[in-house]
Structure 1
Amino acid sequence: MKIIALLLSDGFEEGEAINVIDILRRLELSVKILSCDQTVSLTSYHGVKIVADDLLSSKIQCDFDAIVLVGGPPNTDKLGTDSQVIRFIERHISMSAYIAALCSSGAKVLAKNSLLGSHHYVCCGNFHQNYSDGSYINQPVVMDGQFITGQDYGYTIDFAFAIAEVLLGDTRTRSNDVSDVDWVAKHINYRRFTEYKL
């Protein structure tokens, strides 16, 4: 089973985090919510409280198939300046794991720390203008090599399906007619935006 680490700290965007968790777990992918704070009890940008599965510090040596980051100004400010988080992401980049960043995290975590290199990416607003790393493209979801980025909250479900698609490929355990990813999209009556591959 593919294992995904979702990195969160206080002030994360709850709509993005919960929708990503929901889609990935519907597809029977293992999502581990890791707190980058000193406690597993976290409060979102709009005051929703959740309990992480574990602290990042206790899983720092573990390997994951994908690392996921979401937005929320306090969350991305913290993650983008946390040396433990950056080293964790760098190690997974070197392992060729997928790095998925939604909303401001593409700019404020990845580009800020020169993790994108020449890869294309998208983020919300004009945050990309603050950094020279990466090559910004204005589209809902961008997939370039091991990097998957989503523009903002409005494209969270497409972003989550993009992560699932690279991890599961054309797996067909629910139907011989369509992939599991397409089956779940149809099951929740969601029309996927699929033109995000470079």
Structure 2
Amino acid sequence: MRVITHTSGESMKRVLVFFAEGCEEIEAVTLVDYLRRAGADVISASCSDSLALIGSHGIKLCADTTATRALKETGAFDAVVVPGGMPGAANIAACPEAVSIIEKTRDAGGITAAICAAPVVVFAKLGLLAGKTYTCYPGMEREFPKWAGVDWEKRTAHSVKKEAACWQDGNLVTSEAPGAAEPFALLLVELLCGREAAAAIRKASCLRA
């Protein structure tokens, strides 16, 4: 599959995808892969001191940098993306540098995206779901008290769970599970790189659904 390159004058979108011990491999790698094919500048950032990580199904992953370095050295991002999987999502939520990058991206008007367990485990405590429609792994919406803290009702006020593979509400983009990794990645490609880039990847990947 060919990489979609940007035409003259277009700015390359900068995207950070978090990796962590126990993250869902399909979600993490698909996001990096499709966004790079579309021509985005994608950095994978480890939420530990090591670039080498083991995913939730025992697959070895290697990040480009650490979240600590990304926070200090790489500036602003157009989007940050959080894969799910457990305990991967919990490890990302427990990483102060990852939380800071997510909050800075949100405050700058960038896209904050999460899939599977991550919308609840990572985003709920940060208040990113308040007043928003979203999707997540089935049943995780019942775990707000566990992941969003004692004031979880305030942090998730007026949020509405949708039964959908992917869902966009403004700059919040969420997805359901590993089986939705491709449509989730393509939605982000469309938002960041345009419909033509998403259509070209869909065609070259022989995606018919």
- Is the structural similarity TM-score above 0.5? yes
User: Equivalent residue of 1:73, what SS?
Assistant: coil
Question: Partner of 1:196 in structure 2?
Answer: none
CA deviation map 1:75-98 (0-9, x unaligned): 111122333322221111000110
Please report how far the alpha carbon of residue 110 of structure 1 lies from its aligned counterpart in structure 2 after TM superposition: 0.4
For residues 35 and 65 of structure 2, the distance between their equivalents in structure 1, rounded to whole angstroms, comes to 18
Q: Which structure: greater helix fraction? A: 2
CA-based RMSD of the aligned residues comes to: 1.3
For residues 117 and 24 of structure 2, the distance between their equivalents in structure 1, rounded to whole angstroms, comes to 10
For residues 168 and 21 of structure 1, the distance between their equivalents in structure 2, rounded to whole angstroms, comes to 14
User: Equivalent residue of 2:56, what SS?
Assistant: coil
Code of the residue aligned with 1:19 in structure 2: it is: T
Code of the residue aligned with 2:125 in structure 1: it is: K
User: Equivalent residue of 2:87, what SS?
Assistant: helix
Question: Partner of 2:24 in structure 1?
Answer: 13
User: Equivalent residue of 2:17, what SS?
Assistant: strand
1:1-198 equivalences in 2 (<5 Å): 1-61=12-72, 62-131=75-144, 132=153, 133=156, 134-170=159-195, 179-191=196-208
CA deviation map 1:3-57 (0-9, x unaligned): 1100111111111111112211111112100001111111111111121110110
Instruction: Identify unmatched segments of 5+ residues in structure 1.
Output: 171-178, 193-198
Instruction: Identify unmatched segments of 5+ residues in structure 2.
Output: 1-11, 145-152
Question: Partner of 1:173 in structure 2?
Answer: none
Question: Which 4+ stretches in 1 moved above 3 angstroms?
Answer: none
Q: Is the 8 A contact 2:35 2:42 kept in 1?
A: yes
CA deviation map 1:90-142 (0-9, x unaligned): 11100011011011001110013322221111000211122241321111100
TM-score scaled by length of structure 2: 0.84
Q: Is the 8 A contact 1:80 1:113 kept in 2?
A: no
Identity over aligned pairs, percent: 27
How many residues align? The count is 184
User: Equivalent residue of 1:60, what SS?
Assistant: helix
For residues 50 and 95 of structure 2, the distance between their equivalents in structure 1, rounded to whole angstroms, comes to 15
For residues 53 and 84 of structure 1, the distance between their equivalents in structure 2, rounded to whole angstroms, comes to 15
Question: Partner of 2:8 in structure 1?
Answer: none
TM-score scaled by length of structure 1: 0.88
